[in-house]
Structure 1
Amino acid sequence: MKTHQQTQKTSGIYALNVLFVLSTFSVNGQIILTKKDSNKPETDKPADIYWHVKAFRPEAKLLRIKAIDKEGNYHDVKAIQDSDDTSILNVKALVDGERLPIKMIVKGANDRFYPVKAIAKNGTLVDIKAITEDGEIMGVKGFSRSGNIINLRAITKNNRYYNVIAISPQGKVNAVKGIKMFDSEEEAVINGVSIYAHIKAIHQD
């Protein structure tokens, strides 16, 4: 009888030990799985897609638009798609590895139209120009206003006007426009520069 009770007691202790080991393994296994899952991203962020920015007339070829620094170096101007939404895209100048914001700045006393410039971190302004096949350099300006939209034009010396558009690698087209959020002349100050409107590539039906 005593032996039977001792056997039952030993069996009970053994069973408890097995349950403890199994429960410990189960908990540790769950932690490992949770840790592994926590390192897995929920979604992969797509790479940025660059849209080409061009000057356009129906009867003419597309013209390059570039940022031109004080040394005369040409830099790309791109609309940047960073998600599946292409309804409104930022437009930047790619200068020396940096993406400079492009804005319509408050015009001076002698300006007929609003100048369009890229703005460096130190406040230096970089010209935004359209370039013909013959090498003629045309200013890109804020030309006219409709509500909170400012129409951009590349303007030749003979006052011929080109629209400004952005074209995706798949051939989609957005119009490049100025956008105002406030009624005041000065929309904001960026790196010490007073701006009149933001430049965006927007979808228009």
Structure 2
Amino acid sequence: MDRWLRYSRLILAVSLLTVLNACAGGGGPGGRTIWHVKAVHPEGQFLDVKAIDGAGHIHDVKAIEQDGNLHVMDVKAFVRGKVLAVKILTSDEKYAPVKAIGEDGTIFDIKALTASREILDVKGVSQSGNITHIKAIGPDGSFYGVKAISRQGQLHDIKGIKVTGDAVEATIHDVSVAAHIKALPATEEDAGGGAHLAREDAGRGGEHS
């Protein structure tokens, strides 16, 4: 539990910045480094994580390193020239819905895509304090970790975080948000065997989409 306490202290320290950025819903113009967002299949393959609109069009989802800050990175969807917030929405579902929110309140699904373009759900599946664990869900119900990967092969965990105790963390474009989605430094437990695979993937150019 110590690692979650460390996350909690870090999150509280940047809570004001996080909330302001979440309400704005966009990324800053300068000093940005883009990290790829992937799900990690148990057999070692990286699966693209994408936003999908109502017409089935596929859009990028990326983590954004701002001015060298590696502690808490925003996760955004890039849709038709817009940079959209990616959040956990309020819901009574068993697993928490992870969605991108358009400027007009349109909801975009966040999914993982296999090499054969099979579409897998990406959900918040469990909680540890104010941290929600984000996983892709395989056809057999197994969970695949979701990671941010730098071009140098660094690995961060994609997590949901809350900075208040309220059920509704924020409202963005009239959509109720339960938690923010961030890329956080990978814990030893969550990193598993993904680190060396990430370095290999980065060496091949990182992005397969």
Calculate the TM-score normalised by the size of structure 2: 0.73
SS of the residue corresponding to residue 72 of structure 1 reads coil
User: Is the Cα contact below 8 Å between 2:41 and 2:47 reproduced in 1?
Assistant: no
Q: How does 1:27-46 map to 2 (within 5 A)?
A: none
- One of 113, 116, 131 as aligned partner of 1:149: 131
Q: Distance in 2 between matches of 1:73 and 1:204?
A: 31
Q: For residue 80 of structure 2, what is the aligned residue in structure 1?
A: 96
Q: For residue 178 of structure 1, what is the aligned residue in structure 2?
A: 160
- One of 141, 150, 164 as aligned partner of 1:168: 150
Q: Distance in 1 between matches of 2:114 and 2:101?
A: 24
Structure 1 residue runs without a partner (length 5+): 1-44
Provide Cα deviations, 1:76-126, integer angstroms capped at 9, x if missing partner.
Answer: 000011211211100000001110000000114xx2111000000111100
Aligned residues: 159
Offset, 1:204:
3.2
Q: Distance in 2 between matches of 1:107 and 1:71?
A: 23
- One of 100, 110, 134 as aligned partner of 1:128: 110
Q: Which amino acid aligns with 2:34?
A: Y
Offset, 1:184:
2.1
Q: Distance in 2 between matches of 1:49 and 1:172?
A: 12
State which drifts further: 187-196 or 55-64: 55-64
Runs of 4 or more, structure 1, over 6 Å off, are none
Provide Cα deviations, 1:155-201, integer angstroms capped at 9, x if missing partner.
Answer: 02310110100001111111000001122221111110111100000
Q: Distance in 2 between matches of 1:198 and 1:82?
A: 17
Offset, 1:138:
0.5
Q: Distance in 1 between matches of 2:152 and 2:42?
A: 20
Offset, 1:133:
1.0
User: Is the Cα contact below 8 Å between 2:95 and 2:124 reproduced in 1?
Assistant: yes
Q: For residue 25 of structure 2, what is the aligned residue in structure 1?
A: none
SS of the residue corresponding to residue 71 of structure 1 reads coil
Q: How does 1:1-205 map to 2 (within 5 A)?
A: 47-108=31-92, 111-205=93-187
Q: For residue 199 of structure 2, what is the aligned residue in structure 1?
A: none
Provide Cα deviations, 1:48-103, integer angstroms capped at 9, x if missing partner.
Answer: 21100000144230100000001111000000112112111000000011100000
Q: Distance in 1 between matches of 2:137 and 2:42?
A: 15
Calculate the TM-score normalised by the size of structure 1: 0.74
Q: Which amino acid aligns with 2:98?
A: V
When the two chains are superposed, the root-mean-square deviation of aligned CA atoms in Å is 1.4
Offset, 1:154:
0.4
Structure 2 residue runs without a partner (length 5+): 1-28, 188-209
Offset, 1:134:
1.8
